[in-house]
Each structure stands twice: as C-alpha cells, then as structure tokens.
Amino acid sequence: MPPYNALAVTTSPAVPRRRLKDPLAIIAIVVVIGVFVTTAVTWTAVTLDHRNENRLLAEQTRQAAALLSSTVLSLTGPLSTALQIEEATGGNPARFETFMSAYTQPGGPFVDASFWQLVGGSMTPVASVGVPPASQPTSSQSLAFISKALHTSTFIVRGIPAGEPTRIAYAVANPANPVYAVYAERVIPTDRRVPVESNSAFSDLDYATYLGSTTRTSQLATTDMALSQLPLTGYTVRQVLPFGDSTITLVARARSHLGDTLSADLPWIFVVGGALVTIVSALMAEQLVRRRRDAERAALVVADLYGAQRTIAETLQRALLPSSNPTIDALEIATRYVAGVDGVDVGGDWYSVIQIDEHRFAFAVGDVSGRGVSAASVMARLRFYVQAYLLEGHEPAAVLEMCSREFDITVDGHFSTVLVGIGDLAQRELTLANAGHLSPLILDDGRSSYVVMPVGLPLGVRPGPYASVSLHLEPGATFLAFTDGLVERRAENLDVGLERLSLAADAASADLEDMLSGILAELVPDGSPDDIAVLAFRWREARWTSSYSWR
C-alpha cells in the first residue's frame, strides 16, 4: 500500500532438468515438504491465535475491571451523599433515615445503614435503618472501624467476619470535618454466585473477585462459578483494583474463544488443507514421474502447489471479510473485494459496515501492510477493535486514537491505514476520521470530488490524536471508500490513478452494484497486483425504520 510500502513480485526458482527414476523418492520428498510446510503454517497460526487470545483476554479483563470500579463508585455514592446531607443539616437523624431507607429496602444495595456523631471524644450512633448490623455497633472493633474513617480520605471497608466474610462493611467520613460518619453493610451471597448479563463485560469470562490482594477461598467475594470449580485454572489474567482503603483482586479467564471463529479454526484448516494438498501432490508427483520422470513434470507439481496455496489464501481472505452487508432501510450499500494477482499469501484489505442504533450506522475501510498470516491476524484484531469501540459509542477520531495504542509496528511487524466513519440516518450527515488512508470520493448530481480532510499517521507508527471532519450528503449522493489497489500503478503518479477513478465514477451506471462493477471493469480489467476493497453507499428517499442486521 504505497507510499507506505512497496509492491513485491514473487517468482519461483528454476527447477533443474534431470531424470528422476524413483517415483517413491519423489513421493517421499513431496510428503516431507508437505508435512514441514503444514506443520510450520499450523504452528504459526496456533501461535498467533494464542497471542491474539491473550491480548483479547487482557482487554476484556480491563473492561470488566472498569465496570467493577464503576459499580464500587455507585455503591459508595449514596453513603457520601448521606454524609453531605448530615453535614449540611447539622446531623438531622430524620433526614438520614428518609434518604437511606431507599437504599436499605429488600433488593437494595445495603441491608443496614447507620449515622454516627462524635460526642465527648467517642463515636455514638444517632440513627439507623434496615436490619440489625452483623457486628455490635458499640463493640470496640466497630468503634475503631468507624473512628478510622474520620482520618481517611476515602471510604474504608472490611469483611464481616474477617475469616470468611458474609457481609462487607463500609464507613465514610470527612477528615476535614471529623464529626460525622456513615456506616453500612452489604450482604455477600452464601454461594458467592452473581448472575452475569449477556451484554455485560463479564459475559465472555469466568471470573472471581476477592477482598484484598490475595486469592484465598476465604476472601472470595463474588464469582460466576461453583465454589468447587475454584480457583480458576489455565491461562488467567489478574487485575488489582482500589477498593477504599483496601483492594479487590479480579481473576478472569476466557469462557470460550474470544476472537473470530476463523482464527480458532485456522490451524485445523491448515492441517486438513495441508494434508489434502500433500496427498494430492504426492499422487500427482508419482503419476508425473512415472510418465515423464523429468524436471519439467516436477516443475508442474510446484506450479500446481502454488495455485493450490493461492486458492487457500483467497478463500481465507474472503472468510475474514463480512459474508453479507447489513440491511439498513435508509441506505443502499454495495461492496467489493478483489484479490491481488501477485503472491499466494493472505492480504490485509478489509471493510466493515454495522448499525449502531436506530439512528446511526458506522463503517470502516482499511489496509494492513504486507501479506501473510501475520497481516491477516493484525487485520482481524483491528476489525474487532474498531467494531467494539464504535459499538461502545466512541466517535471516529477517538476510535482511531484508542486503536493507535493497541498496535505497534515493532511488535506486530505491520502498520495499517484506516478510514472510519459514523453516519446519522435522519440528518444524512457523516463524521469521518482518517489514519493514513486515501480520502473517499463523493458523487453528487453527476459530479465527483474527493473529501478534503485531515489525515493522521497510520496505526502502528505511534500513538497519537486524530482529527475528524463532518459533511452532509443529499439524497441520491454516493459515498465511495476504497483501498489503494484500485488506483495505484507501478511507476505512475498517484494523482493519475485518482483522476482515473473520478472519471470512471462519473461515467458509471446509477445503480450502485452496477456502478462498482463498471468501475472495476474500467480500472482493473485484468486484475490488480494488490488486493482491492471497495465500500459504497447512498441514502434512499424511502422512509427508514429501526429494524436492522449487521455483520
């Protein structure tokens, strides 16, 4: 994808012309080569999948930890508010009971709450709501716990009882005004099981949380597993989170394969495909040696192997792309992928279209430098991250900035250019951000023009901010995004290819599918050395609804 990389031409080595009199020797050679290549490619696929799974698990655990932190804040928020009310009202018990009773009802976050005041040098309970606390309010331990809150800048926590807690006690006070304190207790389920919603950050994880920095069973707080299945085994990720004056330790492992289904099946595809290719190649070699027994037939076997590998590469490349476009009532969408004619490795060109909600949709077109399984792995990761961040509600510039922190050319061996956009279906407005990619083309009323927009660094070069641009499309206007294989030619200025695309688009059919077919036939009638991905859409006049599907 020049100017950031150069196209390479792959040639096959010359085969010496000599008589091969032993068919079994040829069969043995082909089998050894086939087994070696299959083993190497399979091992590479397994290794890359394992690394990708580890990264996805770490990212998923970070998101779960963020959700857990926000849950902790939502629990301690009412206690801080109750303390502020008492400070503002001079310690009014009725105001405390009225406010906290809503949080101590059945199904609420706490089972009991009490308000304390410093009287005569010692803390004294003033008001309480809910069921009786698990610890005696006037015990030395309780008084010491609540008094500690007077001199702590954050809330303090403890398990009750300490050995194997069934409740978690919270206390919060204001060190700047050490007069009042609020105390509350939250019940830990007897079996520690907490249900996980299907759309939660924990939905793909087996997890367990522990009070403190250790993972002893006695300190277990919550989990989605049976107690007999703990501790979690296999590959796990641990996150230690601040929890008042203590910590919470989150341990998680993947419940199932986190990446694309293809990345899990890829090693088996290579094993089966490699075995079939090896068997077929061995049989072909045996027949060819028996008929001709010379180097020309051996060269033909190599050519056949080359073609078989290229077919596998094209099949795998198409499997990494969406099988169909989503149905969005307000839009007409068309896409194309054309494999390059050079090489036999998997390429890195891709596109994606999703509907975020009933008002917005998002899209991306990208190109990963280089070719091969590693480039395909980077492409799959990038597509996963872009879709995930868009579905989380981030704007295009923020999506690119977050992705720029996930990729490093010194580690991955590749960089990527990406164009990301979000469309408002009702307003017909687009917001775009660009990481080193070619600008998209707009066709409106028979005229075409390229979008003028800021272009940031490709992903993988270094983390950095990205700028966005917004534009409005009239009904019937066409948006066309593409990768560089459509316009770039060896020894030709890029502007010439862009002008050629603009002229071809102006002369193309009005039907979107026919338009892409016409552009490809005009620009690459004999194929392109590089892969090509094209995404086009236009707003319809028809009324749009909220029903949708996406891939």
Query: Tens of pLDDT along 442-453?
Result: 998 878 999 999
Q: What pLDDT digit, counting tens, does each position of 198-235 carry?
A: 556 677 888 889 988 888 888 888 888 888 888 888 88
Residue 520 has pLDDT above 70, yes or no: yes
pLDDT (0 to 100) of residue 223 = 83
Mind listing the pLDDT tens digit for each residue in 125-169?
A: 999 999 988 888 778 888 889 889 989 989 999 888 877 888 899
Between CA 464 and CA 266 the distance in angstroms is 33
Given this model, what pLDDT does residue 199 score? 58
pLDDT in the model for residue 165: 84
pLDDT-derived band of residue 546, with 50, 70 and 90 as boundaries? very low
Average pLDDT over residues 187-196: 78
The predicted model gives 16-20 an average pLDDT of 47
What's the rounded mean pLDDT across residues 359-380? 90
More confident residue, 192 or 349: 349
Residue 543, pLDDT above cutoff 80: no
> What pLDDT score was predicted for residue 70?
83
For the cut 80, the answer to whether the pLDDT of residue 301 exceeds it is: no
Query: What is the pLDDT, as a whole number, of residue 445?
Result: 82
Question: Would you say residue 440 has pLDDT above 90?
Answer: yes
**Range of lowest pLDDT (89-103, 269-283, 369-383, 535-549):** 535-549
Amino acid in position 478: T
The one-letter amino acid at 465: P
- For residue 537, the model assigns a pLDDT of 95
Ranges of beta strands (E only) in 374-428 are 416-424
| pLDDT tens, residue by residue, 455-489 | 999 999 999 899 999 999 988 899 999 999 999 98
The answer to whether 447 touches 426, Cβ cutoff 8 Å, is no
Encoded tokens for 57: 């698990």
DSSP 344: S
- Average pLDDT over every residue of 97-111: 90
Percentage, residues of the chain above pLDDT 90: 39
Specify the pLDDT at position 437. Answer: 96
More confident residue, 486 or 311: 486
Closest CA to 402 of 415, 414, 390: 390
pLDDT band at residue 10, thresholds of 50, 70 and 90? very low
Quote the pLDDT of residue 296: 56
Query: What is the reported pLDDT for 101?
Result: 92
Q: What does the buried/exposed string (b/e) look like for 54-77 if buried means 16 or more CB atoms within 10 Å of the residue's CB?
A: eebbebbbebbbeebbeebeebbe
Task: Please state the rounded mean pLDDT for residues 426-452.
Answer: 94
Instruction: Answer whether residue 536 shows pLDDT above 80.
Output: yes
Instruction: State the alpha helices, DSSP H only, in 131-260.
Output: 140-149
Percent of the chain with pLDDT over 70: 86
Residue 298 has a pLDDT of: 46
> Quick check: 315 pLDDT over 90?
no
Q: What are the DSSP calls for 145-165, one per residue? A: HHHHHTT-SS-EEEEESSSS-
Beta bridge partners of 332: 538
Q: What is residue 365's predicted lDDT score, i.e. its pLDDT?
A: 97
pLDDT value of position 53: 86
Share the mean pLDDT of the chain: 83
| Beta bridge pairs of residue 129 | 113
Instruction: Enter the tokens of residue 402.
Output: 């977050």
Q: Structure pTM?
A: 0.45
DSSP lists the bridge partners of residue 241 as: 248
Mean pLDDT to the nearest integer, 401-412:
94
Ordered structural domains, the chain, with CATH = 90-187 (3.30.450.40), 323-539 (3.60.40.10)
Q: Cα–Cα distance between 341 and 8 in angstroms, integer? A: 11
In this structure, what DSSP letter does residue 395 have? -
Q: Give mean pLDDT, residues 254-278.
A: 82
Confidence at residue 259, expressed as pLDDT on a 0 to 100 scale = 77
Query: Looking at residue 184, what is its pLDDT?
Result: 93
Q: What is the pLDDT of residue 303?
A: 45
- Which region among 219-228, 285-294, 330-339, 530-539 has the lowest average model confidence (pLDDT)? 285-294
Average the pLDDT over 74-101 and give the result: 90
Identify the pLDDT of residue 212.
86
User: Can you give the pLDDT at residue 49?
Assistant: 83
